[in-house]
């Protein structure tokens, strides 16, 4: 489908302008130590090819089984002999599709294979035909024919068609039987279902095991989810020692199957069964093993080591646990829970962790209670007859009320205790001043973050606005604003409630933490209603003059643009079509202008017949739901949706610019500061999506526009999905797909970080790192799973960008963001970025597209208006009215009610 944007440079291969200064060399396949080329030649090898084709996209629609392989075969569920099993397993072991799977999965897959019997000269499938099955030759010979020429003969033990197990793609050759033939066949739907079922079971088991370990109880759900990805599985034979007493160790083991015997100096001390664990002290401290653990019978364990845990969670476990403990204690405190997320994080980061042995004095009698804040992280404190337990605070009420009251007794550690401690001075520095002042407008800040008009502002800018708020109290019946009077202030109800009257009639009530008058900040308009206080009330007030002095002119212009995009009352009959922006398999995108306001929009239209034909109902709803959920300055904005009896419509903001694919061909090799800029922008986009549990799943240059300010904007949410946990669908663009998508293990948000790593490599090196010279998905997938990253010689090993690429392209998904997006953003290579200025669009950009003037086209469209219906009807008539796909619409008639 066409993009909702403007791309003024055609990117088809035969229309690209090759750059004569760049050699079209092949990416070196051997290691650089073995290369005999000069560094200059190698540099040319990594130059971006101006003629590279845009990548083919794999979608979940490709999963459907649309044809039948071996149509003349007799298919049966024949019982497999031991020899059959060995033959099939040997064939499976040759292909990357199966190499990454556990052995128990191999056996499960074998059990699902059916037997195909064919006579001589029978076609299994034809070149360019869609395919559904993978085959292993049991008997007979077959020929492989490409473009009419025999290129290979297959014999018993050979296999073919494995790519069909991943997705529906055209067969690259014709395969025919030469003699009477027997084949073992496996259908894609059967393979994917078996794979998903087994992996989902394995994932749930590991997740449950993580939840059984008390050590991990303090971790957040997202941290636990990350931990599941980092677990390894080990099998131990009967009487095999898993760990030995006295040996150094750093692995925590959780027993999955079987049971073990624990001995000290040869004496049995206990037995442990499935679900129990050992080695937590080794994990925390790397201490010597205190016992020998021996398998009694066959035992399976899952394990995680200290080093991997640090790489996964981004810090040592103690600090992770203590930070989580501090957060729990702060949330439980009546006064500290009023702090914003930013204030809380700053406070946690500044607190000092102190250890006190049992009986040690922690706070002296006579000390002022408000002088410091203490949070108990482990153990407990004793104050007279009162115990301060884990997750409790000492001095929280006093430090916020600034009391001068003193402790009447000493505070002691009742047992070995760890505490987080901070002084009053540092506390106030963290939260931005005295508690009363620093938290006075926190509720208002939370409201302002939700206001559509202000959502484009950074957190820093919103806090600046909060500092100029003032509070006004009103008595019952007081007119806060009057209908038809000039508006120059915005109001948030702080307490009580107010009533809205229009022409003397009460139309609604506005309660605490609701707001009114926000458009007065941007426009010189008269009040459309009267607002009166109902009983005693108070409001936070932001004057227009204070608002305009806090934001600069460029920011005001962007806010005005966002306001126009928030006009969800616009009707489709108010739009005039200007030109076609794009046409795709499922619909058309038009550039339109508002008949009176002159605002430009991109209108995407999708025929209902196409939706039914390709069963796109769920995809349409998913795309709409996701786009309605997100609002970010670097993401394409959905204004609203329409529907009629023929089509569904998406009305988007119109982005003037070029897609990043074409921009990269203008820039050639991207300089490191420019790569840093683009990568940082994309990180901000992913952060916004992942906070909402949205996986994008197709991050690549073609899906990023560079707008007329030079900033990237993410488009095309057709493959995005809201996911809590894992999903299993194979989709995306092969060169940018993460390994876990390909092998069907299930995946989460980490696949987007992999795609970002591919793009960062592409920025710096001029090509994708895996399968750059390949067009066949199978060959690309093999390269991805090999994960052999070659860096050009001029990219020094110590260069920060190289370490970021390697981290993002970690085969283990849990390693890619280093524990959290915050940890990734704190990487030394990214440390120079001013994230607030980036989101405010105040940083210089590497490239601003030169774009043609649209005024004449728009003027012509308005003078000689055509209807959207006529243009779409004309375009649709050009399509073939008949379809080979079977329509199977089982969705209720009301499925599109949200549009």
Mean pLDDT of 869-875: 90
pLDDT of residue 250: 84
Mean pLDDT of 564-588: 85
**Active site annotation includes 698:** yes
pLDDT of residue 209: 82
- pLDDT of 174-190, one tens digit each? 999 999 999 999 998 88
Give residue 23's pLDDT band: very low, low, confident or very high (50, 70, 90): very low
pLDDT of 36 above 50: no
User: Of the given ranges (314-328, 504-518, 687-701, 819-833), which has the lowest mean pLDDT?
Assistant: 314-328
pLDDT of residue 193: 87
- pLDDT of 345-365, one tens digit each? 899 999 999 999 999 999 999
Retrieve residue 150's tokens: 């025999």
The binding site for ATP comprises 604
Residue 152 bridge partners (DSSP): 144
- pLDDT of 522-542, one tens digit each? 888 889 899 999 999 999 999
pLDDT of 35 above 50: no
For residues 95 and 384, which has the higher predicted lDDT (pLDDT)?
384
pLDDT of residue 49: 57
pLDDT of residue 48: 64
Give residue 18's pLDDT band: very low, low, confident or very high (50, 70, 90): very low
Q: Return the closest-CA partner of residue 408 out of 369, 374, 365.
A: 365
Tokens 């980490």 found at: 750
Mean pLDDT of 140-161: 95
Cα(565)–Cα(563) distance, integer angstroms: 5
Buried/exposed 474-499: b ≥16 CB within 10 Å, e otherwise: beeeeebbebeeebbbbbbbbebebb
User: Of the given ranges (221-230, 278-287, 651-660, 680-689), which has the lowest mean pLDDT?
Assistant: 278-287
pLDDT of residue 898: 82
Give residue 566's pLDDT band: very low, low, confident or very high (50, 70, 90): low
CATH topology of domain 464-547: Jelly Rolls (2.60.120)
Counting residues of the chain whose pLDDT is more than 70, the rounded percentage is: 90
Buried/exposed 566-582: b ≥16 CB within 10 Å, e otherwise: eeeebebeebbbbeebb
Q: Return the closest-CA partner of residue 305 out of 252, 265, 361, 256.
A: 252
The CATH number of 213-313, from 1.20.1250.20, 3.40.1410.10, 2.60.120.10, 3.40.50.300, is 2.60.120.10
Contact by Cβ (8 Å): 684, 33 = no
User: Of the given ranges (3-7, 12-16, 619-623, 852-856), which has the lowest mean pLDDT?
Assistant: 12-16
Contact by Cβ (8 Å): 815, 771 = no
The CATH number of 580-653+858-877, from 1.10.1040.10, 3.30.200.20, 3.40.50.10540, 3.50.50.60, is 3.30.200.20
Strand ranges (DSSP E) for 224-330? 232-236, 241-243, 251-264, 267-272, 277-278, 292-305
pLDDT of 796 above 60: yes
Give residue 99's pLDDT band: very low, low, confident or very high (50, 70, 90): confident
Cα(309)–Cα(315) distance, integer angstroms: 8
Domain 64-194 CATH superfamily: Jelly Rolls (2.60.120.10)
Angle at 857 between CA 855 and CA 863, to 5 degrees: 100
pLDDT of residue 41: 43
pLDDT of 32 above 70: no
pLDDT of residue 108: 82
pLDDT of 659 above 80: yes
Q: How many residues does the chain have?
A: 899
User: Of the given ranges (61-70, 165-174, 220-229), which has the lowest mean pLDDT?
Assistant: 61-70
Cα(698)–Cα(732) distance, integer angstroms: 5
Give residue 798's pLDDT band: very low, low, confident or very high (50, 70, 90): low
Cα(827)–Cα(660) distance, integer angstroms: 25
Q: What architecture (CATH level 2) is domain 317-438?
A: Sandwich (2.60)
Cα(615)–Cα(618) distance, integer angstroms: 8
DSSP state of 759: H
pLDDT of 297 above 90: yes
pLDDT of 518 above 80: yes
- pLDDT of 205-218, one tens digit each? 888 888 888 778 88
pLDDT of 595 above 70: yes
pLDDT of 93 above 90: no
Give residue 50's pLDDT band: very low, low, confident or very high (50, 70, 90): low
Give residue 8's pLDDT band: very low, low, confident or very high (50, 70, 90): very low
pLDDT of residue 64: 47
pLDDT of residue 11: 34
Q: 656-839 — its CATH code?
A: 1.10.510.10
Same CATH fold, 580-653+858-877 and 213-313? no
| DSSP-derived 3-state class of residue 504 | coil
DSSP state of 178: S
Give residue 3's pLDDT band: very low, low, confident or very high (50, 70, 90): very low
pLDDT of 126 above 50: yes
Mean pLDDT, all residues of the chain = 86
Q: Return the closest-CA partner of residue 491 out of 508, 474, 476, 477.
A: 474
pLDDT of residue 417: 94
The structure's pTM equals 0.78
Cα(894)–Cα(688) distance, integer angstroms: 31
- Out of 414, 698, 716, 840, the active site residue is 698
pLDDT of 97 above 70: yes
Domain boundaries, the chain: 64-194, 213-313, 317-438, 464-547, 580-653+858-877, 656-839
Mean pLDDT of 749-772: 95
DSSP per-residue string spanning 301-365: EEEEEHHHHHHHHSS-HHHHHHHHHHHHHHHHSTTGGGS-HHHHHHHHHHPEEEEE-TT-EEE-T
pLDDT of residue 37: 35
pLDDT of 784 above 60: yes
Cα(361)–Cα(414) distance, integer angstroms: 9
């Amino acid at each position: 489908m066409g993009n909702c944007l403007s791309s003024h440079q055609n990117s088809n291969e035969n229309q690209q302008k090759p750059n004569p200064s760049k050699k079209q060399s092949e990416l070196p396949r051997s290691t650089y130590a073995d290369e005999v080329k000069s560094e200059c030649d190698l540099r040319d090898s990594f130059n971006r090819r101006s003629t590279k084709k845009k990548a083919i996209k794999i979608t979940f629609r490709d999963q459907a089984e649309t044809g039948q392989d071996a149509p003349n075969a007799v298919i049966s569920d024949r019982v497999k002999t031991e020899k059959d099993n060995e033959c099939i397993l040997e064939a499976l072991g040759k292909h990357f599709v199966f190499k990454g799977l556990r052995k128990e999965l191999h056996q499960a897959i074998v059990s699902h294979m059916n037997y195909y019997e064919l006579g001589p000269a029978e076609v299994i499938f034809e070149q360019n035909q869609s395919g559904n099955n993978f085959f292993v030759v049991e008997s007979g010979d077959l020929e492989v024919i490409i473009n009419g020429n025999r290129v290979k003969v297959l014999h018993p033990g050979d296999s073919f068609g494995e790519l069909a197990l991943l997705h529906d793609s055209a067969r690259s050759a014709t395969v025919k039987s030469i003699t009477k033939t027997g084949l073992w066949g496996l259908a894609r739907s059967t393979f994917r279902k078996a794979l998903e079922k087994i992996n989902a079971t394995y994932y749930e088991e590991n997740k449950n095991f993580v939840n059984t370990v008390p050590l991990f109880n303090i971790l957040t759900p997202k941290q636990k989810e990350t931990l599941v990805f980092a677990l390894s599985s080990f099998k131990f034979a009967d009487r095999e020692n898993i760990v030995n007493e006295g040996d150094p160790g750093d692995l925590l083991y959780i027993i999955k199957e079987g049971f073990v015997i624990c001995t000290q100096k040869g004496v049995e001390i206990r037995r442990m069964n499935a679900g129990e664990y050992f080695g937590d002290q080794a994990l925390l401290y790397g201490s010597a093993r205190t016992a020998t653990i021996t398998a009694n019978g066959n035992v399976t364990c899952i394990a995680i080591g200290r080093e991997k845990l640090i790489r996964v969670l981004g810090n040592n476990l103690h600090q992770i646990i203590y930070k989580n403990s501090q957060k729990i204690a702060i949330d439980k405190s009546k006064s500290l829970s009023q702090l914003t997320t930013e204030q809380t994080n700053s406070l946690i980061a500044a607190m000092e962790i102190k250890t006190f042995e049992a009986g040690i004095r922690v706070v002296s009698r006579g000390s002022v209670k408000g002088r410091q804040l203490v949070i108990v992280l482990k153990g407990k404190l004793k104050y007279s007859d009162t115990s301060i337990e884990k997750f409790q605070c000492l001095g929280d009420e006093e430090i916020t009320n600034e009391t001068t009251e003193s402790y009447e007794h000493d505070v002691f550690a009742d047992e070995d205790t760890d505490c987080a401690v901070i002084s009053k001075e540092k506390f106030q520095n963290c939260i931005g001043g005295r508690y009363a002042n620093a938290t006075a407008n926190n509720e208002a800040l939370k409201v302002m973050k939700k206001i559509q008009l202000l959502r484009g502002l950074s957190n820093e800018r919103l806090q600046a606005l909060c500092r100029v708020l003032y509070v006004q109290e009103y008595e019952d019946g007081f007119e806060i604003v009057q209908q038809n009077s000039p508006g120059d202030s915005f109001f948030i109800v702080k307490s009580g409630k107010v009533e809205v009257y229009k022409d003397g009639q009460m139309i609604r009530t506005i309660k605490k933490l609701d707001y009114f008058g926000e458009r007065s900040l941007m426009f010189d308009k008269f009040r459309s209603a009267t607002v009166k206080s109902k009983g005693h009330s108070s409001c936070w007030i932001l004057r227009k003059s204070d608002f305009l002095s806090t934001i600069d002119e460029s920011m005001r212009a962007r806010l005005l643009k966002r306001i126009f995009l928030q006009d969800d009352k616009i009707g489709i009959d108010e739009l005039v079509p200007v030109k076609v922006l794009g046409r795709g398999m499922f619909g058309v995108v038009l550039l339109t202008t508002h008949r009176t306001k002159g605002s430009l929009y991109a209108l995407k239209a999708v025929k209902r017949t196409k939706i039914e034909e390709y069963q796109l109902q769920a995809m349409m709803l998913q795309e709409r739901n996701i786009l309605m959920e997100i609002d970010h300055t670097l993401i394409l904005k959905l204004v609203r949706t329409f529907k009629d009896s023929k089509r569904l419509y998406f009305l988007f903001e119109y982005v003037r610019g070029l897609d990043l694919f074409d921009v990269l061909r203008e820039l050639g090799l991207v300089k490191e500061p420019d790569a840093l800029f683009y990568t940082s922008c994309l990180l901000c986009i992913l952060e916004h999506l992942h906070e909402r549990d949205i996986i994008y799943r197709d991050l690549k240059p073609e899906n990023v526009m560079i707008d007329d300010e030079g900033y990237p904007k993410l488009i095309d949410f057709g493959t995005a999905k809201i996911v809590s946990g894992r999903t299993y669908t194979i989709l995306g663009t092969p060169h940018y797909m993460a390994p876990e998508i390909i092998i069907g293990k299930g995946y989460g948000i980490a696949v987007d970080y992999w795609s970002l790593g591919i793009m960062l490599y592409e920025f710096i090196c001029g090509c994708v790192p895996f399968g750059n010279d390949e067009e066949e998905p199978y060959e690309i997938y093999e390269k991805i799973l090999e994960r052999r990253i070659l860096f050009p010689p001029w990219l020094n090993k110590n260069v920060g960008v190289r370490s970021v690429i390697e981290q993002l392209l970690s085969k283990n998904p849990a390693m890619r963001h280093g524990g959290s997006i915050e940890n990734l953003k704190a990487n030394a290579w990214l440390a120079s970025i001013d994230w607030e200025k980036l989101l405010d669009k105040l940083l210089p950009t590497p490239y601003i597209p030169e774009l043609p003037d649209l005024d004449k086209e728009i003027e012509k469209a308005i003078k000689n208006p055509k209807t959207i219906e006529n243009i779409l009807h004309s375009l649709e008539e050009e399509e073939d009215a008949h379809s080979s796909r079977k329509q199977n619409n089982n969705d209720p008639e009301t499925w599109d009610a949200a549009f």
